[in-house]
Structure 1
Amino acid sequence: MRARLLLTVAAPVLTALACTAVTVLPAEASASSARAAQATVTPGIGHTCSRWVAINGFSDSLDKTTFEGIPVSELSGLARDTNGQFLAVGDDSHLFTLDGRTKKPVAVRPLATPDGTELDSEAIVVDHDGTRLITDEEQPAVHRYSASGRYLGSLPVPDALKVAPAGRATHNLTFEGLALLSDGRTLVASMEGALTGDDAGIRRLQTWQRVGHSGAFRLGAQFAYRSDAGLDISDITATDDGRLLVLERGFTAGVGNSVRLVLADSRRATDVSEVPELTGDLTGVRPMARTLLTDVSACPSLGATTKQPQPNPLLDNIEGVTVTGHTRDGRLRLLMVSDDNQRATQTTRLYELTARLPRT
């Protein structure tokens, strides 16, 4: 979606986090405000947002910058590459490669299908062989590209998930998140909005199963996910145990963004592929189990500044999240990014967090 939220972590912050402590500074802070914004962070512990989540730092260093003449903007999805670098998709049809340590761009390439159609690219997954799987919210579609950028094809999509009149989806509210589960065989895409006929709070997550040991996928089960009132799914990423981290976000004019990080589990959920409408109390349907890990507005602001009203100046249009590694005590390291939509009132911001997951 071309108007979104993102969470990210600043390049200067990330290097320091790997050592002993870091000083987190807003990118545009003056000398006096920079001193006021300093925050010492113990690696792997960070500042508490909830019993499950801590924030280690943020960075605005990418905000309103360019690389090779391309705005580093509208970033909507993140993934760790096989070589330790990071990939960030912009929904203006660009794929950026970010340095694994500094998070600064080192390469960029356009995203399009063979006929030249540009992608409204919202999410990305890197397969074990380096293949990039990238969603297109316009179609919707999941396209496959080689590591060198060669187009490899696209995955099948159920008719119901296509944009009306071909299906029941709303334009600009389709495949917003993408994750490859820890089994390496199950790909999951999340719909940003509800289908026509489904309750407004229900989102469908579509899965695909790998065909043998190839890079091809066939359609799999579909699950129902009940989001918090007024929030859409902005992105998803896989945990080590077959569950998903779900980034929910919303926006209220004059108030600002709402961003929540949720742990979701489909292992006991009902396959709703053949259920035409998901309404009411979902009689006969077991939705995905859901545990709220944190409301990001509860995180300390760490001296962040905002260009528009926000419940917490740390917040912006956060749209992407990925797992980057683990702490020594087993918590997940997360990187999030916000989408500035190339607007003066929004910020491209990176956030680094750690999450301890509830047991199954």
Structure 2
Amino acid sequence: MTSKRLAGLCTAVLLVSTAASASAAPRTFEASGPTETGVRLLGATALPHGLRYDGTTVGGLSGIDYDPRSGNWVLISDDRSRKQPARFYTADIDMGAGDIGIELTDTVPLRRPDGTVYPPSGTGGSVDPEAIRFDPRSQDLWWSSEGERAEHRRDPAILRTERDGSFAGRLPLASNLRMREHTGPRRNETLEGLTFAAGGSLVVGSMEGPLIQDGAAPTAEHGALGRITVQNRSGQVLSQYAYPMDPVFASPPKGGSANNGVSEILAVNRGNPFRYLVLERSYVSGVGNSIRIHRIDTRGADDVRAVDSLRGTEVQPVRKELLVDLSEFEGLSTIDNIEGMTWGPRLPSGERTLVLVSDDNFSASQTTQIIALAVR
């Protein structure tokens, strides 16, 4: 299989497909200095729309992860088998001095227990992949699917796959996250975020928006309470916390739309069971996107797994502080629909790299954007 070299988050992108080649114009990039919280921009690039690789359309990249043991990377597409079978990509990412390069190395279809690929959405047996993580205890990968409310009501899920895409298991779902007629997740606002904590003994999932029973979605006038669920590896729900989402950053024009939600969660340290990064992604039609990454701490927060509804209920949510707002970086002329987030390798400076990827929704008006940050 021919790999593809995407050279230069900071300089240029060179793409060589198995069937044809495509390239993006070289881009000169001056890295921004650190914010008050010690975050600086290393680089950013966008992949060409409709890029073909190994017979697939590269797009819809909604999750990314890095394995520090092997140095390998994975990116998952949220294609619901409409273009090609649901899949993830493997990659090598080189973070050299002043240059960051990406090489896609494989395309791996996700498979059902019977070994077949997932059918297109609308058939009742499909998936909507969102997040993906390397299992720190095994060679497996874990990934989340949003499920569906409108077509063949289907619960969200956390699934496990072997490196070759073979089905390896499914984590039992917390009861209050199931798609019931009048309760549970809103359509397309379900299990977006996934991370491991406490050395891999905890599996932590975040909902993109509030459950139906927990109140209205965020607007420019008010935020909302989402849920973060902590389970052990066998699926037992150990705790659940309320997460306070920000209001939408601007009001939409008349007839326009606006939303805000949690698109990813990431343990600050895989050995720590309390501290996480949470990525909030907000969009206002005619205005654009706002991407904010927050530090949170679950210590002192109420366990709400037995609370039927957070609407009008006095609960202590997780503590939250802003780590970085991507609008602070002058070098980012575009901020798209960022959905994936992972820690990468440490830099010689001792800083950690934080790598983000956007979901272009396979739309020509959006971009598949990769952003690398350095965090003290």
The two structures share one fold, judged by TM-score above 0.5 = yes
Partners of 1:76 and 1:89 within 8 A in 2: yes
Q: Who is 1:290 aligned against?
A: 320
* Runs of 5+ unmatched residues, structure 1: 1-9, 15-22, 211-215, 303-312
Answering whether residue 250 of structure 2 is matched by residue 232 of structure 1, we say no
Distance 1:29 1:108 in 2: 22
- Give, in whole Å, the separation in 1 of the partners of 2:356 and 2:325: 14
Q: How does 1:1-360 map to 2 (within 5 A)?
A: 11-13=6-8, 23-25=10-12, 38-41=28-31, 46-61=32-47, 63-81=49-67, 82-92=69-79, 93-101=86-94, 102-114=101-113, 116=118, 117-128=125-136, 129-138=138-147, 139-165=155-181, 167-200=183-216, 201-210=224-233, 216-230=234-248, 231-240=260-269, 241-242=272-273, 243-280=275-312, 282-283=313-314, 285-302=315-332, 313-356=333-376
More relative contact order, 1 or 2 (CA 8 Å, 6+ apart): 1
Instruction: Return the offset for 1:25.
Output: 4.8
Q: Deviations over 1:305-328 (max 9, x none)?
A: xxxxxxxx3201111000112234
Q: Which amino acid is 2:7 matched to?
A: P
Q: What is the TM-score with the length of structure 2 in the denominator? A: 0.77
* Structure 2 unmatched runs, 5+: 15-22, 80-85, 95-100, 119-124, 148-154, 217-223, 249-259
What is the SS of the residue equivalent to 1:183?
helix
Contact 2:61 2:76 in 1 (8 A): yes
SS of alignment partner, residue 204 of structure 2: strand
Distance 1:164 1:171 in 2: 11
1:273 Cα deviation (Å)? 0.4
Which residue identity does 1:146 align to in structure 2? E
Higher strand share: 2
| TM-score (normalizing by structure 1) | 0.80
- Assess, with a 3 A threshold, how the Cα gap between structure 1 residues 112 and 29 changes in structure 2: closer, same or farther: closer
| SS at structure 1 position matched to 2:327 | helix
8 Å CA contact retained: 1:49, 1:300 = no
Q: Name the counterpart of 1:3.
A: none
Q: CA RMSD in A?
A: 2.2
CA distance in 2, matches of 1:330, 1:198: 42
The one-character-per-residue Cα deviations of 1:209-251 (angstroms, maximum 9, x if unpaired) are 13xxxxx442221111001113200111111244111110111
Give the direction of change, closer, same or farther, for the CA distance of 1:256–1:40 in structure 2 (3 Å limit): closer
How much has 1:50 moved relative to structure 2? 4.4
Q: Is the 8 A contact 2:7 2:13 kept in 1?
A: no
Partner of 2:254: none
What secondary structure is seen at the aligned counterpart in 2 of 1:48? coil
**4+ residue runs over 4 A deviation:** 25-30
Identical counterparts, % of pairs: 33
Distance 1:263 1:299, change over 3 A: same
The amino acid across from 1:165 in the alignment is E
Whether the 8 Å contact between 2:110 and 2:167 is mirrored in structure 1 is: no
In structure 2, relative to structure 1, the CA distance for the partners of 1:279 and 1:176 (3 Å cut) is: same
Q: Is the 8 A contact 2:276 2:295 kept in 1?
A: yes
Deviations 1:62-98 (A, max 9, x none): 6431111101100000111342111111111211111
Judged with a 3 Å threshold, the aligned counterparts in structure 2 of structure 1 residues 167 and 131 are, in CA distance, closer, same or farther, namely farther
Contact 2:29 2:331 in 1 (8 A): no
What amino acid is aligned across from residue 349 of structure 1 in structure 2?
A: Q
Letter in 1 for 2:209: G
CA offset digits 1:134-159 (Å, max 9, x no partner): 10101200011122322122111122
Q: How far is the alpha carbon of 1:29 from its aligned partner?
A: 6.4
SS in 2 for 1:197: helix
